[in-house]
Structure 1
Amino acid sequence: MKQFVMAASLLTLLACTGQGEAQSSQNTQKAEAQEAANSADFNRSYLQQMGFAIESVEPSSVAGVYEVITDQGLIYVADNGKKLIGGRIYDITGSEPVNLSEQAIRSMRQRDIAAVAEQAITYRAEDEKYVVTVFTDPTCGYCRQLHNNLDNYLQKGITIRYLAWPRSGLQGSAYQQLKAVWCAADPQAAMTAAKSDQRLQAASCDDPVDEHFALGNKFGVRGTPAMVLPSGELIPGLVDASRLLTMLKQG
């Protein structure tokens, strides 16, 4: 029995040592990959000629594969930018697969939302517990339904922060209405008026509608309303206040 315990202890020690060496090797590889990603030698030309605007390049969790944030979202490349990889990366070592790509995408959304927070039209809950960012279009029926029930969200401690996403693109009535809303002296009142079919006075300013629309496309927005939770998760469609609160509590 004593020999068995000693043998088991030795195996544990060897396992810890091996794991430490493996971890050290992984850290070295990651550092080298990070250096390559940040280097001027990293070839961005192939992605750029495909129309991608590159925002950042980081080593992914897979050796030789890079995680690239672009104006069109997250993509993966290998072979020094010469190979574009479709799909998502999952860690399957645990009891359930973990979507590592979704984690990266959520982090991207959180950073980008923080950068435009001051541009949003915000309806703040008195007892604020959560802030949900909503891409909206005044011509969208479900967006109007959300807005008509805004008090339900606010009473539950959910602040609603609107960004613009005209469904018809950068043209048409919704686009013009959103520009007028953001340029109005009272954007909150103008948003309510636009969603009630009231005529808005034309206004011109350095509005952020184009920027918001591009951001929504980058996030994967395909329709309105589209909700971005504090976690960075994107929820397409209308979610009522009670169900949304449950989702927020679950994290």
Structure 2
Amino acid sequence: MKQLAIAASILGLLACSPQGEAKLSAAPEGFDDSYLQKMGFTVETVEASAIEGVYQVITDQGLIYVADGGKMLIGGRIYDITGAQPVNLSENAIRQMRQKDVAAIDGEAIVYQAEDEKYVVTVFTDPTCGYCRQLHNDLQSYLDKGISIHYLAWPRTGLQGSSYEQLKTVWCSDDPKAALTAAKSDKRLPAARCDDPVDAHFALGNKFGVRGTPAMVLPSGELIPGLVPADRLLNTIKQSQ
């Protein structure tokens, strides 16, 4: 536990997430991920960063940097300062990670599709969250702007409590869209059980840096915390491209 606390304090934006065994893909020769595993990380990919000798590592808890073949953990972000303006290389890598991961589970989302779809925004939601309810009540304003909303589950109380159970029931319902609307209106849901994706969505949100709901992942991979009205969201999407 002490090691996990140290890792969290170094990185500042990580949180524990439920994952299985390590699924490291083709690590560079000489890279040893055993030290990161001892710290509680599940390593997914390892590649060279923009700095010689420093590796860019995607884990179940997000992006980290390590050196000395996996023996040294580095906190912070990498910027390219050679141009007119600094470029946050770390943020670019994180956005690419989010885009890839969202695409991989898109079939698990509860989708409200705009008739004239121009953009897709993925929203981590919780039926007990007041701002999530407000967003849902205003859903048509997003659809009218050509913004489709793809919901993923992120119970604010973690993998326990009423919101967690509600989300599991919603995703297992015969009509998840109707069930989600009902849950956000404090209506009783018929019992339903299945092999739901709520735990996986929660872990993904943690990996992305979600700390509350709603949290919006834009097409660019940028993460926007909180409720953003449709007009402002459309402008933000255009600026982030």
- TM-score, normalised via structure 2 length: 0.88
Residues 22-41 of structure 1: per-residue CA shift (max 9 Å, x gap):
xxxxxxxxxxxxxx9432x3
Q: Return the match for 1:98 from 51, 72, 87.
A: 87
What is the distance in 2 between the residues matched to 1:227 and 1:71? 19
Please give the alpha-carbon distance, in whole angstroms, between the structure 2 residues aligned to 1:211 and 1:248.
Answer: 26
- Contact between 1:37 and 1:66, CA under 8 Å: does it hold in 2? no
Q: Deviations over 1:160-183 (max 9, x none)?
A: 000000000000000000000000
Q: Do the aligned partners of 1:135 and 1:162 also contact (CA within 8 Å) in 2?
A: yes
Give the 3-state SS of the residue equivalent to 2:149 in structure 1: strand
Tell me, what secondary structure is at the counterpart of 1:38? coil
Equivalent in the alignment of 2:180 = 191
Q: Structure 1 residue 106: deviation in Å?
A: 0.2
**What SS does the aligned partner of 2:202 have?**
helix
Structure 1 contact 37–59 (Cα < 8 Å) conserved:
no
2:28 corresponds to which residue? 38
| 1:31 equivalent in structure 2 | none
Q: Does the 8 Å CA contact 1:56/1:68 hold for their aligned counterparts?
A: yes
Specify which of 203, 213, 216 is matched with residue 205 of structure 2: 216
1:110 aligns to what?
99
Q: Distance in 2 between matches of 1:46 and 1:159?
A: 42
Q: Which residue of 2 aligns with 1:227?
A: 216
2:51 — aligned with what? 62
Equivalent pairs, count: 215
Kindly provide the amino acid, as one letter, of the partner of residue 172 in structure 2. Answer: C
Q: Tell me which structure has the larger Cα radius of gyration.
A: 1
Computed over aligned residues only, the root mean square deviation of the Cα atoms, in angstroms, reads: 0.9
State the distance in 1 between where 2:74 and 2:236 align: 32
**Counterpart residue number, 2:141:** 152
- The answer to whether the Cα contact below 8 Å between 1:57 and 1:66 also exists between their aligned partners in 2 is yes
C-alpha separation between the residues in 1 aligned to 2:159 and 2:166?
11
Aligned ranges 1:1-251 → 2 under 5 Å: 37-39=27-29, 41-250=30-239, 251=241
- In the aligned structure 1, how far is the partner of 2:129 from the partner of 2:191? 20
Offset, 1:109: 0.2
Q: Distance in 2 between matches of 1:211 and 1:249?
A: 29
1:118 CA drift (Å): 0.1
Query: In 2, Cα distance between the equivalents of 1:187 and 1:37?
Result: 40
Question: Residues 140-193 of structure 1, C-alpha deviation per residue, up to 9 Å, x if partnerless?
Answer: 000000000000000110000000000000000000000000000000000000
Deviations 1:82-121 (A, max 9, x none): 1000000000011111100000000000000000100000
- What is the alpha-carbon distance in structure 2 between the residues aligned to residue 162 and residue 118 of structure 1? 11
CA offsets per residue over residues 51-80 of structure 1, 9 Å max, x none? 100000000000000000000000000011
The residue aligned with 1:15 is none
SS in 1 for 2:150: strand
Match of 2:120, SS?
strand
Show structure 1 runs of 5+ residues with no match. Answer: 1-35
Q: Which amino acid in the other structure matches residue 99 of structure 1?
A: N
Query: Which has the larger share of helix?
Result: 1
TM-score (norm 1): 0.85
